[in-house]
Every structure is written in structure tokens, then in C-alpha cells.
Amino acid sequence: MSEIMLIIAGLFLPLFPMSMVFNGLFSRLGSPLLRIVLLLAWPLIGVAIVSSVGIEIPDWIMVWALLTAILYGFRALVLREVSLWAAFIATSLWAVLWLVIDSNEAGFSLLAFFALGFSVPLALLVLLSGELEKRFGAAYTGLYNGMAQSLPRLSWVIVIVVLAIIATPTFPAFSAVMTAMLNIAHGSLTMALMLAVAWFIWGWAGARLIQGLLIGEEREAAVADMSSGKSWAYAAALVALIYYGVCMMGGLT
Amino acid sequence: MDQLVILLLALPLLAGLVNQLFSKTLGYASAKLSVSAAVVTFGVALLLLIKMFSSDNTAQVMLADSWGILLADPLSSLMAVLITGISLIVRIYSVRYMIEEAGYGRFFMLLDFMTASLLLMVTSGDLITLVIAWHLVGVVLYFLLGFDTKSPVASRYALWTLITYRIGDMAMVIAAVLLFHAFGTWSLTEIFAQITENPGQHHYFGMPVEEVVGLLLALAAFARSAQLFLHTWLPYTMDGPSPVSALMHAGIVNAGGFLINRFAPIFVQTESVMHLLFAVGLATAIVGSVLMLTQNDIKKALGYSTMGQMGFMIMECGVGAFSLAIYHLIAHGLFKGTLFLAAGSVINEARQHDGVPKQDLYTFVVERRSAKRRQPWLVMAGITLAVPIIILFMAHWLVAQDFFQKQGAIVLLFFGWITGAQLLFNTYRMDVQNVWRLVGMIIFSFALVILGYVLISHAFDLFLYPDPAFRSEIYTAAHINVFWFDVLVVLTTAIIVAGWVLTYYSEQNRLKGGEQFNRLWLSFYAMVSREFYLPDLYAWLTRVLLKASARLNVLLRWR
């Protein structure tokens, strides 16, 4: 019974091919707000199911989760649509939550914190993709080069949000991935290496996204940059995330 | 001392934050703010080093419960002076150099954050802080190298750098986690104390944990210090601003040598890692130097020169000369930084005048015209082989009479001897008015360099590793079986002598028209000029991976 529950949880803490359900749903939702709700709620359902089962996660599920993380990170490398990129990376990151789960110690609240640590920056990216769509009609990389010169505020926010997503220190995702590494490295070098590969790919995918959006000659048509108030709001959210990440690092034992 | 360490980190961080938040209000004053902060930071670093000389204590500052430890010890204080010194020079240089660039304030902000990250790295007293700083240096460097956001080329090679650094980052993370599992603490001091007390106590998949961690840390050092197969990013990142190149080649790329020194208590407990360091360092030094000689772009040549120097630095660690590696990285940092900052002026001047001095050295080296009248070959051969070795032995004997017992010292002596002999061998046929004056000057310069190198590195040894037993342990860890050591020395000598004979033979043959040799030489040159096809191979691999990713997406219908 409990193993069936774990498989059901595999829908929400995505394991391939069940992960396709989330990605299908995400791309069908047109509204950024609904997408954000989905990004925030989806892994929490999985966390709740796993917490209620309360059994140790078998190694085969962990390997499955790692393969899913690598697969979606790898597939995100060539994605040009920003929202779709966020969904694929979300799938990849959430799979890592399986490695953080330790039935004896990690309760629902801690797991939920880790899940939100992954999801909040992704939700911010979906919001930012809305900003891009508002200005250019679509949020694609390689479509409008040179944003770093024409829209410096928006560019800065995008860069920092992407850094938060790809588990750069000291954002919460970094603490979550470090915790996952702590849980698996002593038992299996192969799993530790697989997690390292996934982490490596997130960095690569993130850098490709940034380059596709910001680098190149500035476009002639002028569009308005993000307002100062809005950029301060994003900055406040990011500072809160850094603080949250630093606090989570205290629990790395 | 605690306040000094905190101040050391806080100053550049604060300057960076102010520059970022108030860049519009500050305008060009952002440079003034950054330079002022750099001057004070350099002063603080100097004060810390002086304090370290006057008292033999190390200090630790705890910012959190289990991590956030800042360490002030001889290694961190020495590295802090180097980092703050070079970043101060780079900032002063950049004030005018970058004045016409868009994003003037952003540039200084990034320099401030880079200095803060580097200082955090060298003062880290625990594994989490070290991992954080190690990551951040890579991230900030990515943005510094891609500073010109209009240039896709600069951005492309910044990405190469980031990708290579990430390989090292991952190795470092796994090493940190394994150490925590084995010793139950993040604190470096506590881990080292436990290892020194009970070495080889913990195992990981049948291997001592020190061996596994040593290998992982070596990989992290290789990625950061551009060792063979992880080097392609270094010579290609020249599209970034010159001050960034100077900072990178003078400071950031040296991090591998620092890391090995920081984890010296672990490396001395390993069996094979030191030999790996030697082999990889040696291969990198040779390949880097060969590639440097074939470049026609001054900055790219400097890039490959750095690769060669980093190879020497890692090789020195491999023979147990840890503190010599630190001296090497400081010396290299200073001269390479100067070369990069001067490269622009040289290029500019060369565009107006070719700058080639029609003198003896040019006609001998470039035009390959040697003297018609030569000295007796037996006398010259005697000087070539004997004088360098006498100078080297005398210099080493001055600082440590027992240096014959250390294989590492013998290896370094051997390299010194070959270098000196090669120098004399190459120059005694020069067409100069007074050949004995030339030989005398060469011997005098060689003696001066060797004496300075030996004395200063000995002083570094005493400062960084005051415990003589530990110093001896480092050399012992680098030892190999005496038989194989002798075999290697004889083999290397044979290869070098064969090289000399081959050179002589080719000179003779050239006159008679040795076409076969020329063809071989041209094939080798073509391979070197394509940098052994490594950048092409990596570019091809990237294309294959990206194509596979796209195909997979189509196959899975973007779900």
C-alpha cells in the first residue's frame, strides 16, 4: 500500500514518465497566476503524501528521481520559451526532494520549506516571463537580443532569479541540494555523482537562458524598463530568499 | 585580530552593495568608492600579515553555530595581501581604462564582489563557507568575463569558464560532504586535528577517505587552475576587459595552489594523489609552454603561458614543495598581472612601429644566424653542464643540508639544472663581441634567480609550515620507490639529451635538405597550432549534446 502511495507521490514529486502530467498541465494553463499556483502547490501535495506514508524511501526510487532530474535538466538546455524552461527545471529540481526525505527526521514542514525554496524563484521567473510577454509579445530566448543594455533593471532581476533557481549559494535551493548530497553521498558515490551531474546541468541551462535573453546588440525599438518600485519589490523577495537560504544552511548536519 | 578579519571581508562587500544600489547617483564616483575601499582593505590585509608575523597565533571567528568560520592563519593572511594588492592595482588601472565603457559602476561593483568572494575563499575556516566562496568566485567571474554584454564571443567563453568551474565545484561539494560524514564536523581545524591524530581511520568504499577526498580536491584544483583537458577556457577568455584578464591570471587562477596548501594535512596522508598532481602538473606545463610558443596573439600567448605556469605550480605541489607553490603563484601573479596591464600599450605601439630591435638576440633567435667563430666545444659543454648544477647545489645547501634526502628537492634541482643548461646551450653560439662576457652575465643572472628563489621559498616554508616534522611529512608523501625514481630521472635525462642531439642533427640536416624531418615537424606544428584539436573536440561534443537534447524534446512532445 505504502509503495503505491509513493508511486502516486511520483506524480507530484515528478518521476518520469509521470512528470509529463505536470508539464502537460502547466503548458495548458495560459494564465501566469494559475501557473504560479501550480508551481507552488504541486510539490507540496507530493510532500504531504510522502510525509503521511512515513516509510524510508527505497534506493530504486532515489535513482529514478535522479535520472528524472538529469533528464529534465538536460532537456531544458535547448528550451527557448522561458515558462516552459521554468516547468522543466521545476520537474528536475522537485525530483531532488526525494533525496531530502528522511522518514525519521524530516517532517512535513521541513520538506515543505525545501519544496518552496525550489518553487518560489521559479514562480518569480514565471512572473518575469509575463513582463517579457507584455513588452515583446513573447518570452523567448534569442528573439530580442541586448536586453542587458535596453532593460537593465529587468535584466538584473532575471539574472538573480535564475541564479536562485540553479542552486547558487546562498539561496534556499543550494541548501536543499546540499542536504540531498549529505543524505546520499555516504551511501552511494554513484548517486552523489548523478546529483552532481544534475546540478552541473542546471548551471549550464541557466547560463544559456541568461545569454539568450541578455546578450547581443541592443534593439532599436525602445521599450520601457521595469519600474523602480517593481524592481525593489523583486529585490526584497530575493533578499528574503537569501536570508531563508542562510537560515536553512544552519540545519546542515 | 578577529575584527581585522571581519573588516577584511566587510569592506569590499559593502563597497559592492553601495555601488549596486546607488550606481546612478554615484556615477563616476563609484570608481572612487571602490578604489578607496580597496586601499583600506589592502591596509587591513597588511596589518593582519604583520600581526601574524609578530604573534604565532591563528584566530577563528565564528559567525554561525556550525559554519561561517573565518580563519586567520599564515596562509590566509599571505593570500589576502596578494588578493587585495592585485585587486587594488587592477582597480586603479581600470579607473581610466574603463571610463568609456557602458556599465562603469557595474564593473567596479563586480570587482568589489570578486574581491570579497576571493577573500572569503582564503579565510574560510569551514567546508560550507569554502564551498560557498568557491562557487561564488566562478559565478562572479562569469559576469566579469561577459562584462561586454554586446559581445556574444565574450559571453560564449565566459560560459566555457563557468562550465569548467562547475566541474571543480561539484568535486569540491562531494569532498566536503564526505569529510563531514567521516569526521562529524564542518570545521577545517577540527577535521585536520582528527586526521593528524588518527590517519586512515575512516574508509569510503574500501579506500581511506583521505585518498578519495584528496582526489576530489585535486580535481577541483585542476579545474580552477586550468590543468590539461580542463584548460581550454583560459586562453579563450581574452574578449573580457584587460583588467579582468589581469585579475584572473594574477589571482583567480592560482586558487588551485591555495586549495592544495589549505588541505595539506589531507594530502600528506594520501598515497597516490601527490603523484597524480606531479604527472598532471608536468603534462600541463609542457603542453602550455608548447602552445604558448606557437601563438601570434600576445594575449593568447600570455594565456597559454599562465597555463604552463599553473602546471609548474601544481607540479611543485606534487613533489611536496607546497610553500614553493605559494611563492610561485605570488611571483607569477605579480609578473603576469603586469604583463596583461601592459599588453594593450604594447599592441598599440606595435601597430605604429614593429618594435623589432635589429640586434644580436634578434638575429640569433629569429633569423637563426649563429657566430662563425666558435669557442672550444669541450670548454663550453663543461660550463653548460657543470655550472648550473654547482649553483643549484650551493644554493640548496645554504638553506638545508639534508636536501639530498628529499626526492622532491632532487626533482626541482633537476629541472633547474636542465633550465640553466638549456639557457647556456642556446646562447653560447650567439654572434656577440665578447662571448665570455655574455656567458658571465648569464651565469650571474642564473645564480641570482636561483639564490633568490631558494632563500625566499625557504622563508615561505618556515612561515607557512613552522613544524619541521610536518614539512618533512609533505616531502615523504611525495616519495616514490627509489628504483622507479632513478629510472624516471635517467629516462628524462635521456629524452632531453636526445632532444639536444636531435636539434644538432636537424641543424646539420637542414643544410643538406632533411625533407622527411621537415615534414614531420610541419605536421607537429599544424597539430600544435590547432591546440591539439581539444577546443574543436569540446565544441563538437557540445553540439552533439544540444542536438540530442532537442531530439529528446521532440520525441517526448515537449512534456
> At how many degrees (to 10) do helices A172-185 and A189-214 cross?
160
Task: Please tell me the distance from the alpha carbon of residue B467 to that of residue B521, in angstroms, as a whole number.
Answer: 50
- In tens, the pLDDT along A231-251 reads 999 999 999 999 999 988 876
Q: Which of B131, B174, B558 sits opposite A185 (nearest CB)?
A: B174
ipTM: 0.94
User: Which residues of chain B are modeled with pLDDT < 70?
Assistant: 56, 354-362, 365-374, 377, 401-405, 428, 507-514
A20-49: b or e for each residue (b if 16 or more CB lie within 10 Å)?
A: bebbeebeeeeebeebbebbeebbbebbbb
Q: Which of B136, B142, B550 sits opposite A207 (nearest CB)?
A: B142
For residue B207, what are the β-bridge partners? Answer: B204
Q: Tell if the CB–CB gap between A181 and B549 is shorter than 8 Å.
A: no
Cβ neighbours of A27 in B, within 8 Å: 558-559
Cα A49 vs. chain centroid, distance in angstroms?
20
Cβ neighbours of A218 in B, within 8 Å: 150
pLDDT of residue B342: 85
Please answer whether residues B140 and B114 qualify as being in contact, where contact means their C-beta atoms are separated by less than 8 angstroms: yes
Please answer whether residues B217 and B172 qualify as being in contact, where contact means their C-beta atoms are separated by less than 8 angstroms: yes
The contacts of residue A150 (CB under 8 Å, 6+ apart) are A218, A219, A222, A223, A225
Q: Which of A24, A196, A197 sits opposite B559 (nearest CB)?
A: A24
A-chain residue closest to B103, CA distance: A149
Cβ neighbours of B177 in A, within 8 Å: 178, 181-182, 185-186, 192
Cβ neighbours of A159 in B, within 8 Å: 143
User: Rounded to the nearest 5°, which phi and psi values hold at B204?
Assistant: -135, 110
Compute the nearest-CA separation of A55 from chain B (Å).
Answer: 23
Q: Tell if the CB–CB gap between B102 and A163 is shorter than 8 Å.
A: no
The amino acid at residue B203 is: H
Q: Which of A23, A169, A192 sits opposite B132 (nearest CB)?
A: A169
Q: Tell if the CB–CB gap between B174 and A74 is shorter than 8 Å.
A: no
Q: Which of B152, B162, B546 sits opposite A207 (nearest CB)?
A: B162
Cβ neighbours of A99 in B, within 8 Å: none
User: Rounded to the nearest 5°, which phi and psi values hold at B71?
Assistant: -115, 125
Cα B151 vs. chain centroid, distance in angstroms?
28
Q: Which of A169, A181, A196 sits opposite B135 (nearest CB)?
A: A169
Select the residue from B120, B149, B169 to test the A interface by mutation, using most A Cβ atoms within 10 A.
B149
Compute the nearest-CA separation of B527 from chain A (Å).
Answer: 30
Task: Please tell me the distance from the alpha carbon of residue A16 to that of residue A7, in angstroms, as a whole number.
Answer: 11
- In tens, the pLDDT along B94-153 reads 999 998 888 889 999 999 999 999 999 999 999 999 999 999 999 999 999 999 988 889
Cβ neighbours of B143 in A, within 8 Å: 159
Give the CA radius of gyration of chain A: 18
Cell of B235: 586562453
- Domain extent, residue A20, equals 2-250
A-chain residue closest to B170, CA distance: A196
Q: Which of B64, B142, B178 sits opposite A250 (nearest CB)?
A: B64
Give the CA radius of gyration of chain B: 25
User: Rounded to the nearest 5°, which phi and psi values hold at B59?
Assistant: -125, 150
User: Rounded to the nearest 5°, which phi and psi values hold at A145?
Assistant: -85, 170
pLDDT of residue B13: 95
Task: Please tell me the distance from the alpha carbon of residue B38 to that of residue B28, in angstroms, as a whole number.
Answer: 16
Compute the nearest-CA separation of A74 from chain B (Å).
Answer: 6
pLDDT of residue B107: 93
The contacts of residue A162 (CB under 8 Å, 6+ apart) are A125, A206, A209, A210
Residues making up chain B, counted from first to last: 559
Cβ neighbours of B150 in A, within 8 Å: 146, 149, 215-218
3-state secondary structure labels for all residues of chain A: CHHHHHHHHHHHCCCCCCHHHHHHHHHHCCCHHHHHHHHHHHHHHHHHHHHHHCCCCCHHHHHHHHHHHHHHHHHHCCCCEHHHHHHHHHHHHHHHHHHHCCCCCCCHHHHHHHHHHHHHHHHHHHHHHHHHHHHHCCCECCCCCCHHHHCHHHHHHHHHHHHHHCCCCCCHHHHHHHHHHHHHHCCCHHHHHHHHHHHHHHHHHHHHHHHHHHCCCCCCCCCCCCCHHHHHHHHHHHHHHHHHHHHHHCCCC
Compute the nearest-CA separation of B279 from chain A (Å).
Answer: 25
- In tens, the pLDDT along A43-71 reads 999 999 988 887 788 899 999 999 999 99
> Which of B420, B336, B418, B435 is CA-nearest to residue B376?
B435
CA torsion through residues A182, A187, A188, A189, sign = positive
B126-157: b or e for each residue (b if 16 or more CB lie within 10 Å)?
A: bbbbbbbbbbbbbbbbbbbbbbbbebbebbbb
Task: Please tell me the distance from the alpha carbon of residue B424 to that of residue B427, in angstroms, as a whole number.
Answer: 5
Instruction: State how far the alpha carbon of A30 is from the alpha carbons of B10, B232, B511, in Å.
Output: 45, 43, 79
Cβ neighbours of B186 in A, within 8 Å: 252
Q: Angle at CA B69, nearest 5°, toward B67 and B71?
A: 155
Select the residue from A215, A234, A238, A247 to test the B interface by mutation, using most B Cβ atoms within 10 A.
A215
Cell of A35: 501557473
Task: Please tell me the distance from the alpha carbon of residue B557 to that of residue B559, in angstroms, as a whole number.
Answer: 5
Domain count, chain A: 1
Q: Tell if the CB–CB gap between B181 and A199 is shorter than 8 Å.
A: no
Compute the nearest-CA separation of B540 from chain A (Å).
Answer: 16
Task: Please tell me the distance from the alpha carbon of residue B123 to that of residue B133, in angstroms, as a whole number.
Answer: 10
Cβ neighbours of B163 in A, within 8 Å: 200, 203-204, 207
Q: Quote the mean pLDDT of chain B.
A: 87
- In tens, the pLDDT along B27-79 reads 888 899 999 999 999 999 999 999 988 876 788 888 877 888 999 999 999 99
Q: Tell if the CB–CB gap between A75 and B180 is shorter than 8 Å.
A: no
The contacts of residue A26 (CB under 8 Å, 6+ apart) are A35, A38, A39, A83, A87
Q: Which of A78, A192, A215 sits opposite B546 (nearest CB)?
A: A78
A242: left (phi over 0), alpha (psi -120 to 50) or beta: alpha
In three-state secondary structure terms, B103 is: coil
pLDDT of residue B475: 86
Cell of B98: 574603463
Q: Tell if the CB–CB gap between A75 and B552 is shorter than 8 Å.
A: yes
Q: Which of A24, A196, A215 sits opposite B170 (nearest CB)?
A: A196
Q: Tell if the CB–CB gap between A252 and B166 is shorter than 8 Å.
A: no
pLDDT of residue A158: 95
Cell 566562478 found at: B138
> Which of A169, A170, A134, A174 is CA-nearest to residue A154?
A134
Compute the nearest-CA separation of A209 from chain B (Å).
Answer: 11
Q: Tell if the CB–CB gap between B177 and A148 is shorter than 8 Å.
A: no
Task: Please tell me the distance from the alpha carbon of residue B168 to that of residue B176, in angstroms, as a whole number.
Answer: 12
A-chain residue closest to B555, CA distance: A75
Q: Which residue intervals of B319-433 are DSSP H helices?
A: 322-352, 360-365, 377-399, 407-427
Please answer whether residues B172 and B134 qualify as being in contact, where contact means their C-beta atoms are separated by less than 8 angstroms: yes
Cβ neighbours of A74 in B, within 8 Å: 545, 548-549, 552
Give the DSSP H or E segment for B204: strand B203-204
Cell of B383: 660550463
Query: Per-residue pLDDT for chain A (253 aa), expressed as one digit of tens each?
Result: 677 888 899 999 999 999 999 999 999 998 999 999 999 999 999 999 988 887 788 899 999 999 999 999 999 999 999 999 999 999 999 999 999 886 555 577 888 999 999 999 999 999 999 999 998 888 988 887 788 888 989 999 999 999 999 999 989 999 999 999 999 988 899 999 999 999 999 999 999 999 998 888 876 567 888 999 999 999 999 999 999 999 888 766 6
Cβ neighbours of A20 in B, within 8 Å: 556, 559
